[in-house]
Amino acid sequence: MKNGRLYTIERAKPSQFDDACELAYKVFLKFESKEYGREGTDKFAEFLTSPQLQKLFETGHYIMFLAMCEGDIIGVISVRSGNHISLLFVDERYHRQGIGGELIKQMQDHLLSTGAGYEKMTVNAAPYGIPFYERTGFIKTGETTVTDGIIYTPMEMYL
């Protein structure tokens, strides 16, 4: 890792859920909210604070991994519907250090280890994230769409 920083990737614990969502929202506000406008930003905040999302996480139906550095959450990835990336955010101080790619690799390994037969991971990529996803092996599978102010391009990567 650049600058000699060390980090680990671990499965999120229930006590870390709120902090992980807070990191995702902070990074979203910095890099994506201007394009999304008020409607998309409000919809994203509503998603992150949904009691149903936390319940899915607590029951093991919303898998989340965290990148940790000196006890702090510096990155988060989560999947829903088995193999669909729902969140992937890295603290801006740690961008371009390989953390996002490592989070994807950890999730790939997890999906392959479940024995559920997943062949690919999917994501609805925000405009800011498209170049990153392409560099990590995702390909576009559809046109850019806007739903409730959320701008996304469907993408997939074979495991």
Contact 65, 77 (CB under 8 A): yes
pLDDT of residue 115: 83
pLDDT of residue 4: 54
pLDDT of residue 1: 47
* pTM metric for this prediction: 0.93
CA dihedral 100→75→13→18, nearest 10 degrees, is -140
Q: Alpha helix (H) ranges present in 4-147?
A: 17-31, 33-48, 51-58, 99-113, 130-135
What are the domain boundaries of the chain?
A: 2-117
Q: From the first residue on, what is the mean pLDDT of each consecutive set of 10 residues in the chain (159 residues)?
A: 72 97 98 94 96 94 96 97 95 95 96 90 96 97 96 96
Q: How far is the C-alpha of 118 from the C-alpha of 139, rounded, in Å?
A: 17
Q: Which CATH superfamily is domain 2-117 in?
A: Gcn5-related N-acetyltransferase (GNAT) (3.40.630.30)
